[in-house]
Amino acid sequence: MSSVHECAVGVDIGATKIAAGLVDGSGRVLASQTVPTPEAGGEEAFHAVVQVVGQIKQHAQRHDLCIRGVGVGTAGQVDSKKGAVRSATINLPEWGGIPLAERIRAEVELPVRIDNDGNVALLAEVWAGAAQGHEHALGLTLGTGIGGGVVTGGRILHGTWGGAAELGHVCVNLGGPRCTCGSNGCMEVYASGRGMVERLQERLMARPGDASAAARAYVSKHGLDRVTAALVFAWARAGDKLACETLDEANAALAYGVTSLIHVFNPTVVVVGGGVVAANPSIVPELAERVHGLGMPSLVQAVSITAARFGAWSGVIGAAALILQDEAVYG
Amino acid sequence: MSSVHECAVGVDIGATKIAAGLVDGSGRVLASQTVPTPEAGGEEAFHAVVQVVGQIKQHAQRHDLCIRGVGVGTAGQVDSKKGAVRSATINLPEWGGIPLAERIRAEVELPVRIDNDGNVALLAEVWAGAAQGHEHALGLTLGTGIGGGVVTGGRILHGTWGGAAELGHVCVNLGGPRCTCGSNGCMEVYASGRGMVERLQERLMARPGDASAAARAYVSKHGLDRVTAALVFAWARAGDKLACETLDEANAALAYGVTSLIHVFNPTVVVVGGGVVAANPSIVPELAERVHGLGMPSLVQAVSITAARFGAWSGVIGAAALILQDEAVYG
Compute the nearest-CA separation of A55 from chain B (Å): 35
Q: Is the pLDDT of residue A2 over 50?
A: no
| 3-class DSSP assignment, residue A148 | strand
A183 shares contact with chain B (CB less than 8 Å): yes
Q: Is A133 strand, coil or helix?
A: coil
Domains and CATH numbers, chain B: 6-129+312-330 (3.30.420.40), 137-307 (3.30.420.40)
All residues at 6 or more sequence positions from B322 whose CB lies less than 8 Å from its CB, including other chains:
B8, B10, B71, B72, B73, B113, B114, B115, B120, B123, B329
Is B102 in contact with B113 (CB distance < 8 Å)? no
Which residues of B fall within a CB distance of 8 Å from A259? 171, 183
CB contact under 8 A, A294 and B259: no
The full DSSP string for A204-216 is: HHH-GGGS-HHHH
Query: What is the pLDDT of chain A when averaged over all its residues?
Result: 94
How far apart are the C-alpha atoms of A211 and A204, rounded to whole Å?
Answer: 7
Rounded Cα–Cα distance for residues A308 and A139 (Å): 9
User: Looking at residue B87, what is its pLDDT?
Assistant: 82
Q: What is the pLDDT of residue A166?
A: 97
Q: CA–CA separation, A316 vs A67, rounded Å?
A: 15
- Name residues whose C-beta falls within 8 Å of residue A43's C-beta, 6 or more positions apart in sequence: A94
In this predicted structure, the answer to whether residue B107 has a pLDDT above a threshold of 90 is yes
State the smallest CA–CA distance between residue B8 and chain A in angstroms: 27
3-state helix, strand, coil in chain A (%, to 5): 45, 20, 35
**Interface-testing mutation among B263, B270, B330, with chain A (most A C-beta atoms within 10 A):** B263
pLDDT tops 90 at residue B256: yes
What single letter denotes the amino acid at residue A264?
Answer: V
List C-alpha distances in Å: B218 to A121, B180, B229: 57, 28, 14
Q: State whether B257 and A295 contact (CB < 8 Å).
A: no
Asked whether the predicted pLDDT for residue A138 surpasses 50, the reply is yes
Q: Sheet holding A146-152: strands in order across? A: A155-156, A146-152, A137-142, A269-273, A304-307
B31-66 residue pLDDT tens: 999 999 999 889 999 999 999 999 999 999 999 999
Which chain B residues have a beta carbon less than 8 Å from that of A167?
Answer: 263-264
Task: Judge contact between A273 and A314, C-beta under 8 A.
Answer: yes
- The interface predicted TM-score (ipTM) is 0.96
**Comparing C-alpha atoms, which of A56, A46, A45, A48 is closest to residue A9?**
A56
pLDDT per position as a tens digit, A171-204: 999 999 999 999 999 999 999 999 999 999 999 9
A248 touches chain B (CB under 8 A): no
Using an 8 Å CB-CB cutoff, list chain B residues near A152. 152, 157, 159, 164
pLDDT band, residue B140 (cuts 50/70/90): very high
Question: What is the reported pLDDT for B2?
Answer: 38
Reference B80, options B313, B331, B329; nearest CA is: B329
Closest of A330, A325, A300 to residue A126, by C-alpha: A325
User: Per-residue pLDDT averaged across A114-140, rounded?
Assistant: 96
Q: Which of residues 253-292 of B touch A (CB under 8 A)?
A: 253, 256-257, 259-261, 263-268
Averaged confidence pLDDT in chain B: 94
How many angstroms away from the CA of A218 is the closest CA of chain B?
32
HEC string for B246-308: HHHHHHHHHHHHHHHHHHHHCCCEEEEECHHHHHCCCHHHHHHHHHHCCCCHHHHCCCEEEEC
Adjacency order of strands within the sheet including A66-74 = A29-36, A17-23, A6-13, A66-74, A112-116
8 Å CB contact of B163 and A298: yes
Q: Which A-chain residues 56-95 have CB contacts (< 8 A) with chain B? A: 77, 86-87
Share of residues in chain B with pLDDT > 90 (%): 89
Residues from chain A that touch B253, judged by Cβ atoms under 8 A, are 174
Q: How far apart are CA A174 and CA B176, in angstroms?
A: 10
| Per-residue buried b or exposed e for B110-134, using 16+ beta carbons within 10 Å of the residue's own CB | bbbbbbbbbbbbbbbbbbbbbbeeb
How many contacts does A have with B, using Cβ atoms within 8 A? 152
What proportion of chain B, given as a percentage, has pLDDT over 70?
97
Q: Are B23 and B30 in contact (CB under 8 A)?
A: yes
What pLDDT, on a 0 to 100 scale, did the predictor assign at position B93?
82
Nearest 10 degrees: CA dihedral of A298, A299, A302, A306? -160
Q: At a CB cut-off of 8 Å and minimum separation 6, what does B219 contact?
A: B204, B208, B211, B226, B227
* Alpha-carbon span B187 to B185, nearest angstrom: 7
* Position A331 pLDDT exceeds 80: no
Q: Is B295's CB within 8 Å of A77's CB?
A: no
CA angle B234, B238, B243 (to 5 degrees): 65
Closest-approach residue (CA) in chain A for B302: A160
Q: Do B166 and A299 touch (CB under 8 A)?
A: yes
d(CA A113, CA A167): 22
Q: Is the pLDDT of residue B1 over 50?
A: no
Number of helices followed by number of strands (H, E) in chain A: 13, 12
Residues 6+ apart with CB under 8 A from A160: B135, B136, B266, B267, B268
pLDDT confidence of residue A95: 86
Write the DSSP symbol of residue B210. Answer: G
Q: Is the pLDDT of residue B5 over 80?
A: no
Are B162 and A261 within 8 A, CB to CB? Answer: no
Cβ count near B212 (within 10 Å): 16
A298 with B87: Cβ contact below 8 A: yes
Contact B159 A136 (CB under 8 A): yes
Cβ contacts of B159 on chain A, cutoff 8 Å: 136, 152, 265-267
CB distance A296–B169 less than 8 Å? Answer: yes
**Strand ranges in B62-103 using DSSP code E only, listed in sequence order:** 66-74, 77-79, 84-87
Of the listed ranges A251-255, B13-17, B119-123, B237-241, the least confidently predicted one is: B13-17
Q: Which of B87, B150, B295 has its CB closest to that of A183?
A: B295
Residue of A185, A20, A163, A152 lying closest to B176 (CA atoms): A185
Examine the pLDDT at A1 and tell me if it is beyond 50: no
Judged against a pLDDT cut of 80, whether residue A91 lies above it is answered with no
Distance from CA of B9 to the nearest CA of A (A): 28
Nearest-angstrom CA–CA distance, A183 and B119? 27
Q: Which of B169, B253, B268 sits opposite A160 (nearest CB)?
A: B268
Q: Do A298 and B252 count as a contact with CB atoms less than 8 A apart?
A: no
Predicted confidence at residue A5, as pLDDT, reads 65
The reply to whether A96 touches chain B by the CB within 8 Å rule is no
The Cα of A162 is separated from the nearest Cα of chain B by a number of Å equal to: 7
Q: State the pLDDT at residue A94.
A: 84
How far is CA A49 from each of CA A9, A118, B176, B290, B300, rounded to the nearest angstrom?
A: 11, 19, 47, 40, 31
Residues of A in contact with B256 (CB under 8 A): 171, 174, 183-185
Instruction: Tell me which DSSP letter residue A249 carries.
Output: H
Interval A280-322: pLDDT, tens? 999 999 999 999 999 999 999 999 999 999 988 999 999 999 9
Of A160, A253, A267, the CB nearest to B266: A160
pTM for the whole structure = 0.96
The rounded distance, in Å, linking the Cα atoms of A119 and A313 is 14
pLDDT at A326 over 80: no
pLDDT of A241 over the 60 cut: yes
Q: What percentage of residues in chain A have a pLDDT greater than 70?
A: 97
pLDDT value at residue B305? 98
∠ CA A29-A35-A39 to the nearest 5 degrees? 140
For residue B175, pLDDT over 80 is answered with yes
**Burial letters A201-222, b for 16+ CB under 10 A, else e:** bebbeeeeeebbeebeebbeee
Q: How many residues does chain A have?
A: 331
Q: Which residues of A touch B84 (CB under 8 A)?
A: none
Residues in A touching B136 (Cβ below 8 Å): 159-160
3-state DSSP assignment of residue A96: coil
- Return d(Cα B135, Cα B115) in angstroms, integer: 19
Q: Do B172 and A174 touch (CB under 8 A)?
A: yes
Residues A149-164 pLDDT 10s:
999 999 999 999 999 9
Residues of B with Cβ-Cβ distance to A174 under 8 angstroms: 172-173, 252-253, 256
Q: To the nearest whole angstrom, how far is the Cα of A93 from the nearest Cα of chain B?
A: 17
